[in-house]
Structure 1
Amino acid sequence: MAQLAAVFVLLFLVVAASEAAITCSDVINDLRPCVSYLVSGAGKPPAACCAGVSTLASASASSADKKTACECIKNSAKNIKLKADLAQALPKNCGINLPFAVSPNTDCSKIG
């Protein structure tokens, strides 16, 4: 469950197309290395976490993939007490630029 919080941040690394090929299971697996960091970490995220974020970003090639990942992360994050500041800074701390804010209040339907 804590692994889903990490997914929240990483989900926002997707691109654009039409039908979702990514599953919630994929998102969780990619972000699993980020969970401990997002719940109780500090400083820079572990290399395995950033590698998972990069993998998720590459796998999320369509709008549908991005929306699926976003919803998965949001639903998973509801059960985890993650540090919001670490979640929001994760893309930057992993050297990834995102065109939107990483937040539990993100409207996944507007991600494209």
Structure 2
Amino acid sequence: MARATAAQLVVVALVAAMLLASPRTANAILCGQVTGDFVVFCINYARRPPVDDPPSSRCCRSVKGIADAARTAKEKLTACDCLQSMLKGIRGINPETAASIPSKCGVSFPFAISTSVPCPDFSLMINRSPAHAVDVA
């Protein structure tokens, strides 16, 4: 009986390892990645009235990390949805200050940090590969 249980545990562990190592999972962005550092390092700044001084360097690293992690259209949509959901659950957020964080950090962000601006429709980009992108500049 103990051998059967140990063998079952080994099989479960191997299946879990294969799932965790699959490319589909490896490329996914999780809400915890998006909101974790942002909550810790940016929320106090986002509650302030609009000011000229920039957010902390830790907040800016958090925002840059989100922008860097959200590469695909699906990841950008996930990141946007996660940030919006998180912001809706926190009292005292100043919408203008929160929206200004990426630009004050010098980070190009693919969506607004806002609870009132809907996430962009990234669906047009979801099925495109970078090889088929067209530069219109």
Q: How many residues align?
A: 95
The alpha carbon displacement at 1:100 in A equals 4.8
Q: Could you list the structure 1 runs, at least 4 aligned residues long, displaced by more than 2 angstroms after superposition.
A: 40-43, 97-103, 105-109
Counterpart of 1:107 (choices 109, 112, 118) is: 118
Q: Is the 8 A contact 1:40 1:83 kept in 2?
A: yes
TM-score, normalised to structure 2's length? 0.59
Moved more, 58-67 or 96-105: 96-105
- Which structure: larger Rg? 2
| Residues 76-85 or 60-69, more deviating | 76-85
TM-score (norm 1): 0.71
What is the match of residue 94 of structure 1? 105
Q: Deviation per CA, 1:34-68, whole angstroms, max 9, x where unpaired?
A: 01111136431001000111111111111111111
Q: Is the 8 A contact 2:77 2:120 kept in 1?
A: yes
Q: Aligned residue for 1:31?
A: 38
2:62 aligned with 1:55: no
Name the residue aligned to 1:66: 76
Letter in 2 for 1:25: G
The two structures, once aligned, show a CA RMSD in angstroms of: 2.3
Residue identity matched to 2:99? Q
Distance 1:99 1:73 in 2: 12
Unaligned runs of at least 5 residues, structure 1: 1-17
CA distance in 1, matches of 2:79, 2:44: 19
Letter in 2 for 1:23: L
Question: Is contact 2:47-2:98 (8 Å) kept?
Answer: no
SS of the residue corresponding to residue 65 of structure 1 reads helix
Q: Distance in 1 between matches of 2:102 and 2:59?
A: 10
